[in-house]
Structure 1
Amino acid sequence: MKIPNMEVVAMMRVSDLMVSLEDYSHVAVGSSLQDVMQAVATAMMGPAADPSRPRDRGVLVQAKDGRVLGKLSLWDILSGLKPSFEPPVDPFGRVDDHLLWSQWLRPELAEKARTTRVEDLLKPPSSDETIEAEAPLDLAVYRLIRGHHLSLLVMRNAEIIGVLRLSDVFKAVNTMIAATKRQPTPA
């Protein structure tokens, strides 16, 4: 993707930078969390069709009819592995968070990854996790920053048609800044 100048970036739409559904990693409903982890690991470290394109940091979940139901991010995946525990009651309100998680990374984790299904973790995307394909890029930047999202699901006619990744937006903004001439500072 070549971004010629600041004016072009300022006029860009989400659809100009989004990754199509065909080009984004995906798994089917019914897949295990272990399958999801493998798909994301392959997307992050495997051979890339386009080496200039940043790597995926999540996976789309597809229904049996091919519709995309949502996306699982790295946050969702690791959160799906967290232990179920009740924090100890401390009358002084002191709880060592590390202590609560200290038993988490154990061999039982693999069993949890094998038995947890994507539908156990998948939530319908909220309105702040989606953006219309023809929305201006500045609105996308605002939503990504406000929600601390790694990506947004791109919509057209209430259907998911792609993914806008923070890494692609960062690349576009960086290219725009690099293409501008530095203004002399007043003495």
Structure 2
Amino acid sequence: MRSYQVKDLMVPLSEYATVPQSATLLYAVDSLRKAQAAFGQDRYRHRAILVFNGDNHFVGKLSQHDLIAALEPNYKEMKSSMNHGSMHRLGLSDGFAKSTLEQYHLWEKALENLCEKAIHLKVKDIMYTPGMGEFVNASTTLDEAIHRLIVGRHHSLLVTSDHDAQEIVGVLRIVDVFELVCDAMHECAVA
């Protein structure tokens, strides 16, 4: 994979869903749907939205997970009292998951007033700000990028310009890396 660079496999920013941080949840969902519809039918659909400030600088990311979790406001209280991450990876049982569901009264009324939530929730209040390990330069070798995806357990890396580390030019998604690896394995089997 050393012969590939991140820019050879990334999805260009122009093909990704982007929204301003002042956008509503409904606007973000509509933007994601439009980007998915415009994306090639032979490729996996996008699952995230990139967020920019008024100066058009990248400030965050909004995943499908973030969107759904935002519908249940009690998750904020729960997150402040627990560590982030998968409960199973932390060694917590399904029984614990059920007890937190009951303790924090999660999803009892989360879908009520869905439309009202969608137009009042702001992206800036629910977006995720990626850490330094979630950015990769466009000229980085694909083997290094794959290593960062795996070690960091990321679904994607934000690709920065070769000339400006603050400029996002695309997204390297693990699903595209997976497809490349599968194609390479298939070629081995044919040869």
Which position in structure 2 is the counterpart of 1:12?
A: 4
Q: Using a 3 Å threshold, how does the CA distance of structure 1 residues 27 and 96 change in structure 2: closer, same or farther?
A: same
Correspondences of 1:92-131 after superposition (within 5 Å): 96-99=99-102, 100-131=105-136
Q: Aligned-residue CA RMSD in angstroms? A: 2.6
Shift in Å, 1:11: 1.7
**SS of equivalent residue, structure 2 residue 51:** strand
Q: Distance in 2 between matches of 1:49 and 1:149?
A: 22
Which position in structure 2 is the counterpart of 1:53?
A: 43
Q: 1:23 aligns with which of 15, 27, 47?
A: 15
Q: 1:66 aligns with which of 36, 47, 56?
A: 56
Q: Distance in 1 between matches of 2:53 and 2:112?
A: 31
**SS of equivalent residue, structure 1 residue 34:** helix
Bigger Rg, structure 1 or 2 = 1
Shift in Å, 1:121: 2.1
1:66 maps to amino acid: N
Count of matched residue pairs = 168
Identity %: 34
Which position in structure 1 is the counterpart of 2:81?
A: none
Deviations 1:103-159 (A, max 9, x none): 143313432222111111234321121112111212222222233322111113222
1:18 maps to amino acid: M
Contact 2:72 2:110 in 1 (8 A): no
Q: 2:165 aligns with which of 158, 171, 187?
A: 158
Q: Distance in 2 between matches of 1:14 and 1:117?
A: 32
**SS of equivalent residue, structure 1 residue 181:** helix
Contact 2:71 2:110 in 1 (8 A): no
Q: Which runs of 5+ in 1 are unaligned?
A: 1-8, 88-93
Contact 1:57 1:150 in 2 (8 A): no
Q: Using a 3 Å threshold, how does the CA distance of structure 1 residues 182 and 19 change in structure 2: closer, same or farther?
A: closer
Q: Which runs of 5+ in 2 are unaligned?
A: 79-95
TM-score by length of structure 1 reads 0.76
Q: Distance in 2 between matches of 1:17 and 1:108?
A: 41
Q: Distance in 1 between matches of 2:24 and 2:55?
A: 19
Shift in Å, 1:24: 0.9
Alignment partner of 1:176 is 2:184 = yes
Q: Distance in 2 between matches of 1:147 and 1:77?
A: 22
TM-score by length of structure 2 reads 0.75
